[in-house]
């Protein structure tokens, strides 16, 4: 796989050494057990896969290349490059400005953007409408486009099944940048509907089965379907794709549930199922799959707590938290500064959107650690170093680093 020129401030010699050793010992990635780090009295289990993925490293390389190559020009990002506050802060410090926030709210009016400006497409991709707007302004959107290739793979899958006459059901968070982009590209080729979770899939099945009046469809899924969507005909043939960072088990469960609904409703068998349900398989990216599998394996290790590191608006990170919190006390933190001097930990409840503060129990010596796909390795190392400091194991941590590097 291609390697990228990631700025030094995001790298960690220790994390690179750990990842490289695991890769050399397991090139086919069959062993998803965590890496065990004995640090004095501490026992830290680090997930087999964590941190920057291919798409994120690609995006960061392109963004900083745009800065280096255009020292006299105004440089804009459509919205956050990735969902990591540290990376976005570094881009802002480099002079990059964000045109919109993560929810699509305009921060800089379009009439201020000119043909001579540089506009970077973020890793989530963007909508067909914004691509056209940029072209009309004389800006080529592909010049510094950082759209993740795995997101583009979903767009291609949606286009293919749309051309085959299916309606596209997108499993994703309706307000997430990636889902908005996927919805925009998908509706160019087929009727498209976004559903957030299994609850909405069950509601959708009631419309398919005729258990709910189709006149209620538009209010039920307001803002989640394309203009001209006709539930009378557009729910007869469907296929499921997803936002690439969703929980794998959720997407698989939703696709299988809707498949069984279509089988029962249209009395299908193996030879006729394709008449009403497209075989799309899973459209999660490899990193989402790898990170989730690694966390599930990590949870088999006896531990006192789990710490998951990443931006608080990061979908893939929140799903790692979701996997952990059903089995073990779990703290969702953005960086090492969340581990406070007075033995408190500042953490985030992504369900309620609350930032909380709890006691950091130093009698808890067995700790599981992972990080989202947009979290730099340098942050993971600093979190581990901070944990060691709070446990008074700084010397042991330096010895660990020396043994790996």
Catalytic residues: 178
Angle between helices 54-69 and 85-93 (to 10 degrees): 10
Q: Which two tokens stand for residue 247?
A: 């929980």
Element spanning 12, H or E: none
Burial of 219 (0-12, 13-18, 19+ CB in 10 A): exposed
Closest CA to 178 of 246, 115, 111: 246
Strand pairing class (192-195; 97-98):
unpaired
Q: What are phi and psi of 288, to 5 degrees?
A: -60, -45
Q: Which two tokens stand for residue 28?
A: 């086919």
Quote the CA–CA distance of 113 and 104 in Å, as a whole number. 16
Burial of 400 (0-12, 13-18, 19+ CB in 10 A): buried
Chain centroid to CA 341: 31
Cα angle 311, 373, 332 (rounded to 5 degrees) comes to 40
Quote the CA–CA distance of 3 and 74 in Å, as a whole number. 28
- The residue with tokens 């997930």 is 47
Element spanning 290, H or E: helix 286-298
Quote the CA–CA distance of 325 and 302 in Å, as a whole number. 14
105 half-sphere exposure, CB direction, 13 A CA radius: 4
CA distances (Å), origin 321, targets 325, 327, 371: 6, 10, 9
Three-class SS string for 29-80? CCCCCCEEEEECCEEEEECCCCCCCHHHHHHHHHHHHHHHHCCCCCEEECCC
Residue 86's contacts (CB-CB under 8 Å, 6 or more residues apart) are 334, 335, 376, 379
């Amino acid at each position: 796989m291609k390697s990228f020129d990631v700025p030094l401030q995001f790298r960690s010699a220790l994390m690179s050494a750990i990842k490289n050793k695991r890769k050399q010992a397991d090139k086919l990635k069959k062993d998803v057990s965590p890496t065990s780090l004995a640090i004095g009295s501490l026992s830290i289990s680090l997930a087999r896969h964590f941190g920057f993925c291919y798409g994120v490293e690609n995006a960061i390389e392109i963004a900083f290349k745009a800065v280096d190559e255009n020292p006299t020009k105004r440089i804009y990002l459509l919205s956050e490059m990735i969902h990591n506050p540290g990376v976005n802060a570094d881009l802002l410090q480099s002079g990059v400005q964000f045109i919109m926030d993560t929810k699509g709210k305009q921060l800089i009016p379009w009439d201020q953007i000119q043909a001579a400006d540089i506009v970077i497409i973020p890793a989530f991709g963007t909508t067909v409408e914004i691509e056209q707007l940029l072209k009309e302004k004389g800006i080529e959107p592909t010049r510094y486009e950082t759209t993740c290739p795995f997101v583009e793979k979903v767009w291609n899958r949606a286009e293919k099944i749309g051309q085959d006459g299916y309606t596209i059901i997108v499993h994703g968070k309706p307000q997430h940048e990636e889902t908005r982009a996927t919805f925009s590209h998908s509706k160019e080729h087929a009727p498209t509907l976004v559903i957030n979770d299994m609850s909405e899939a069950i509601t959708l099945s009631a419309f398919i089965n005729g258990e709910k009046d189709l006149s209620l469809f538009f209010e039920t899924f307001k803002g989640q379907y394309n203009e001209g969507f006709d539930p009378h005909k557009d729910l007869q043939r469907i296929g499921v794709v997803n936002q690439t960072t969703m929980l794998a088990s959720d997407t698989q469960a939703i696709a299988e549930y809707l498949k069984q609904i279509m089988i029962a409703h249209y009395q299908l068998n193996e030879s006729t199922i394709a008449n009403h349900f497209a075989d799309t398989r899973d459209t999660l990216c490899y990193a989402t799959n790898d990170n989730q599998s690694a966390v599930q394996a990590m949870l088999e290790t006896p531990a006192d707590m789990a710490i998951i590191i990443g931006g608080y608006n990061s979908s893939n990170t929140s799903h790692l938290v979701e996997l952990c919190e059903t089995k073990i006390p779990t703290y969702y933190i953005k960086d090492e500064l969340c581990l406070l001097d007075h033995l408190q930990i500042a953490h985030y409840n992504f369900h309620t959107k609350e930032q909380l503060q709890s006691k950091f129990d130093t009698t808890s010596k067995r700790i599981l650690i992972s990080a989202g796909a947009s979290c730099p390795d340098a942050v993971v190392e600093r979190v581990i170093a901070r944990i060691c400091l709070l446990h008074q194991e700084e010397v042991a941590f330096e010895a660990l680093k020396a043994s790996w590097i």
